[in-house]
């Protein structure tokens, strides 16, 4: 039995009754005899009645815990500790029972000695502790000697897991020219070992590849720039390898690595420069407004928004005649014609063009100025210009029922040269393979040559040519888009064959079919169809039509009691009219078959021949038929007697 008051208090707090206690039980946070007890150390030897046991009153003892190291690889079962009752006289009369988590599977107990062993390899990262229950029984009677007690076996950690970067590999960016110490990214490694015990999970970061450009904080894993004035234009991509080592980085610790791909993002630290200080360009005097004369380019080593350019004409005698715009895709300056040109009036122009960065960073202004200029010389060339159409594009609308030969548009072109040659018109036949149109050779009157059908071709895109009489090589062209307008020339009709089925016991007013219609026309306000019985069926006694006013109609029975034997099929003509001008209509036929149905209204047969055959009889009908047969048999026997 325990002899110290301290032991008695512990047993009382645990509710162990009067006699069951544990050997080799101790809290990991407590140091006994200057070391943590290993599995198999019996507390009976650690807590004898010696004076020094009362000198450790500041320590917090936990009496109901065992501790055992994980990853034991020996061949024999691993000793964990011992259960003992002070009622045990050593004669085998006490039987120790172990139950709870892992009992009999992970842990076993010698029911005579109370020794507990682990029989499986333990992994703290899979399970950190087990809660079990102990009981001492009278071996002869099986009667509990004391109440059941609960205790815990904690798995003691060893350093068997290396740090891992779960989010790696990493991708990061940092602006070029960043000051030394600029934070780039933080990497984090996790260690599955116990962070509360020893240094197994204390991780230290170091950089294996990436010096002298970057450094890493050994405690936080924050990567920072370590070199001044890193230039993206010199080197843009860096592959940095970071190591995380446990045991505080000490020798023997486990390590893991990850890759951090770092890209230097661009800043505007390079001014633009024209590779040419003089450009020579030429333009035909017939060049239309907004036509391109040429391109200039100021090179910028930066990229993206920092390489964006804005070009302007800052001086020159052609500042009012030409314009310049920036192509946002290629960052080039496009010089275009702003006003009509004439070789006879002015043969050359000079422009002074500036290219400048619109997005500047104040800290790099000392590298500027962030603009450059170049001179552009433009020569105007005299040419025999082809005929020019006015306007430069035609859009014509024409109804589809227009009469053949109707003039739908006058096409006009003129010779811009001083000679003002006569013009002859024609249609590019590749643009009108169906030959729906022709143009008067002298007047340019565009007329229809064939009937138009919007339902076949709703648009025509043709090209009209104009040729100088005295110089057939000078040919101008213009695009003419013709939209064919709809007229009401198609009657509505059923989109498919409609067939309906009704039961012989159908009631008056019963819905048997909903119908809809289609029309190839496309009126401006949309289609609206009207439904009614055809004139020849206006007084039909069997069925009627109800217009739903939503382009559909319901077909309803007008009476009840249809019979297959009398008439098995009805043909109902339905008149469908549209809302066009003029109104067009057609007649569609709904085929209605009379069918025999069961009591639930489900169709059984729509064939008149099948009507004579009993398809399905209820249980009551079968009983009635059998009863009749029985009566007939009885009467027949009586007659014979």
SS (H, E, C) 465-476: EEEECCCCCCEE
CB atoms within 10 A of CB 236: 15
CA dist 615 and 26 (Å) reads: 87
Q: How confident is the model at residue 17 (pLDDT cuts 50, 70, 90)?
A: very low
pLDDT higher than 50, residue 6: no
CATH number listed for the domain at residues 5-156: 2.60.40.60
H-helix or E-strand spanning residue 97:
strand 94-100
Domain borders along the chain are 5-156, 170-265, 278-381, 388-485, 498-612
Q: In the Cβ-directed half-sphere of 500, how many Cα atoms lie within 13 Å?
A: 21
CB atoms within 10 A of CB 246: 25
pLDDT higher than 80, residue 22: no
pLDDT higher than 70, residue 248: yes
Percentage, residues of the chain above pLDDT 90: 50
Per-residue pLDDT at 364 = 67
Q: How confident is the model at residue 4 (pLDDT cuts 50, 70, 90)?
A: very low
What's the burial of 586, exposed, middle or buried (CB within 10 Å: 0-12/13-18/19+)?
A: middle
CA dist 82 and 110 (Å) reads: 9
Fold match between domain 278-381 and domain 388-485: yes
Q: Exposed e or buried b for every residue in 508-543, given b needs 16+ CB within 10 A?
A: eeeebbebbbebebeeeeeeebbbbbbeebeeeeeb
Per-residue pLDDT at 624 = 65
pLDDT higher than 60, residue 200: yes
For 359-373, 447-461, 544-558, 627-641, which range has the lowest pLDDT when averaged over its residues?
A: 627-641
For 3-12, 102-111, 343-352, which range has the lowest pLDDT when averaged over its residues?
A: 3-12
Contacts of residue 53, defined as CB under 8 A and 6 or more positions apart, other chains included, come to: 4, 6, 47
For 51-65, 232-246, 496-510, 549-563, which range has the lowest pLDDT when averaged over its residues?
A: 51-65
DSSP letter, residue 273: B
CA dist 308 and 323 (Å) reads: 19
Percentage, residues of the chain above pLDDT 70: 83
CA dist 452 and 464 (Å) reads: 19
What is the rounded average pLDDT for all residues in the chain? 83
For 34-48, 125-139, 507-521, 541-555, which range has the lowest pLDDT when averaged over its residues?
A: 34-48
Q: If we measure between CA atoms, which residue out of 545, 547, 526, 525 comes closest to residue 535?
A: 545
pLDDT higher than 70, residue 59: no
Q: If we measure between CA atoms, which residue out of 79, 62, 82 comes closest to residue 22?
A: 82
Residue pLDDT, tens place only, 419-456: 777 899 999 999 999 999 999 999 999 999 999 998 88
pLDDT higher than 90, residue 38: no
pLDDT higher than 90, residue 181: yes
CATH number listed for the domain at residues 278-381: 2.60.40.60
Structure tokens of 130?
Answer: 């087990």
pLDDT higher than 80, residue 220: yes
CA dist 360 and 368 (Å) reads: 10
> Contact at 8 Å (CB) between 270 and 300?
yes
Average pLDDT over residues 510-538: 90
269 vs 611, residue with greater confidence: 269
β-strands 371-381, 278-284 pairing:
parallel
Average pLDDT over residues 277-289: 93
Per-residue pLDDT at 290 = 95
For 18-27, 413-422, 477-486, 632-641, which range has the lowest pLDDT when averaged over its residues?
A: 18-27
> Contact at 8 Å (CB) between 234 and 242?
no
Q: If we measure between CA atoms, which residue out of 164, 166, 184 comes closest to residue 174?
A: 184
Average pLDDT over residues 496-510: 91
Q: Exposed e or buried b for every residue in 269-294, given b needs 16+ CB within 10 A?
A: bbbbebeeeebebebbbbbeeeeebb
Residue pLDDT, tens place only, 577-617: 988 888 989 999 999 999 998 887 788 888 764 333 343 44
pLDDT higher than 80, residue 202: yes
Instruction: Fold for 170-265, please state it.
Output: Immunoglobulin-like (2.60.40)
Per-residue pLDDT at 368 = 60
Average pLDDT over residues 58-66: 52
Per-residue pLDDT at 50 = 33
451 vs 365, residue with greater confidence: 451
CA dist 281 and 378 (Å) reads: 5
Residue pLDDT, tens place only, 552-567: 999 999 999 899 888 9
> Contact at 8 Å (CB) between 558 and 543?
yes
Q: How confident is the model at residue 576 (pLDDT cuts 50, 70, 90)?
A: very high
Residue pLDDT, tens place only, 100-119: 998 889 899 998 888 999 98
Residue pLDDT, tens place only, 523-535: 877 889 999 999 9
205 vs 79, residue with greater confidence: 205
The angle at the Cα of 369, spanning 365 to 374, to the nearest 5 degrees, equals 160
Query: For 495, left (φ over 0), alpha (ψ -120 to 50), or beta?
Result: alpha
Q: If we measure between CA atoms, which residue out of 304, 262, 273, 242 comes closest to residue 178?
A: 262
pLDDT higher than 50, residue 73: yes
Average pLDDT over residues 315-320: 94
Average pLDDT over residues 18-40: 38
Phi, psi for 308 (deg, rounded to 5): -65, 145
Q: If we measure between CA atoms, which residue out of 416, 446, 451, 421 comes closest to residue 431?
A: 446
Per-residue pLDDT at 5 = 29
CATH number listed for the domain at residues 498-612: 2.60.40.60
CATH number listed for the domain at residues 388-485: 2.60.40.60
Per-residue pLDDT at 363 = 62
pLDDT higher than 60, residue 49: no
């Amino acid at each position: 039995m325990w002899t110290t008051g301290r032991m008695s208090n512990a047993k009382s707090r645990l509710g162990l009754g009067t006699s069951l206690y544990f050997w080799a039980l101790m809290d990991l946070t407590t140091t006994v005899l200057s070391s943590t007890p290993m599995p198999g150390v019996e507390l009976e030897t650690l807590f004898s009645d010696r004076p020094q046991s009362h000198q450790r009153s500041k320590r917090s003892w936990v009496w109901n815990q065992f501790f055992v190291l994980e990853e034991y690889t020996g061949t024999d079962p691993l000793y964990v500790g011992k259960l003992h009752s002070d009622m045990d006289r050593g004669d085998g009369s006490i039987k120790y029972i172990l139950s709870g988590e892992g009992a009999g599977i992970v842990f076993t107990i010698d029911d005579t000695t109370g020794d507990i062993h682990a029989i499986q390899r333990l992994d703290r990262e899979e399970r950190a502790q087990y809660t079990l229950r102990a009981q001492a029984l009278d071996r002869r009677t099986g009667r509990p000697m004391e109440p059941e007690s609960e205790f815990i076996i904690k798995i003691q950690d060893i350093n068997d897991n290396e740090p891992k970067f779960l989010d790696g590999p990493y991708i990061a960016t940092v602006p070029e020219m960043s000051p030394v110490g600029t934070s780039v990214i933080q990497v984090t490694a996790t260690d599955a070992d116990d962070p509360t015990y020893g240094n197994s999970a204390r991780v230290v970061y170091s950089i294996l590849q990436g010096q002298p450009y970057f450094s890493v904080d050994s405690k936080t894993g924050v990567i920072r720039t370590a070199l001044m004035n890193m230039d993206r234009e010199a080197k843009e991509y860096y592959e940095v390898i970071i190591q995380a080592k446990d045991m505080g980085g000490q020798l023997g610790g486990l390590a893991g690595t990850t890759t951090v791909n770092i890209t230097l993002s661009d800043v505007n630290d390079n001014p633009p420069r024209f590779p040419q200080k003089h450009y020579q360009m030429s333009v035909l005097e017939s060049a239309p407004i907004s036509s391109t004369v040429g391109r200039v380019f100021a090179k910028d080593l930066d990229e993206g928004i920092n390489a964006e350019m804005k070009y302007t004409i800052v001086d020159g005698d052609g500042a009012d005649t030409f314009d310049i715009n920036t192509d946002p895709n290629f960052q080039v300056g496009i010089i275009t014609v702003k006003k009509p040109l004439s070789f006879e009036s002015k043969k050359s122009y000079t422009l002074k063009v500036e290219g400048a960065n619109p997005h500047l960073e104040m800290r790099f202004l000392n590298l500027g100025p962030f603009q450059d200029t170049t001179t552009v010389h433009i020569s105007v060339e005299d040419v025999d210009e082809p005929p020019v159409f006015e306007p430069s594009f035609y859009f014509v609308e024409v109804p589809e029922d227009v009469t053949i030969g109707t003039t739908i548009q006058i096409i006009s072109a003129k010779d811009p040269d001083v000679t003002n040659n006569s013009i002859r018109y024609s249609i590019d036949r590749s643009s009108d393979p169906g030959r729906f149109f022709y143009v008067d050779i002298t007047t340019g009157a565009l007329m229809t040559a064939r009937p138009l059908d919007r339902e076949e071709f709703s648009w025509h895109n043709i090209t009209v040519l104009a040729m100088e009489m005295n110089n057939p090589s000078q040919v101008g062209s213009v695009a003419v888009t013709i939209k064919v307008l709809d007229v009401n020339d198609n009657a509505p009709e059923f989109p498919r064959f409609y067939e309906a089925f009704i039961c012989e016991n159908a009631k008056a007013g019963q819905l048997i079919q909903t119908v809809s219609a289609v029309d190839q026309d496309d009126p401006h306000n949309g289609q609206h169809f009207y439904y009614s019985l055809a004139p020849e069926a206006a007084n039909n006694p069997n069925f009627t039509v109800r217009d739903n006013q939503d382009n559909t109609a319901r077909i309803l029975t007008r009476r009840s009691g249809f019979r297959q034997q009398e008439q098995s099929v009805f043909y109902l003509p339905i008149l469908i009219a549209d809302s066009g001008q003029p109104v067009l209509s057609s007649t569609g036929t709904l085929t209605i078959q009379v069918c025999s149905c069961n009591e639930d209204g489900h169709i059984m047969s729509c064939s008149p021949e099948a009507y004579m055959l009993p398809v399905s009889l209820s249980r009551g009908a079968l009983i009635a038929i059998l009863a009749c047969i029985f009566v007939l048999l009885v009467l027949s026997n009586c007659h014979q007697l």
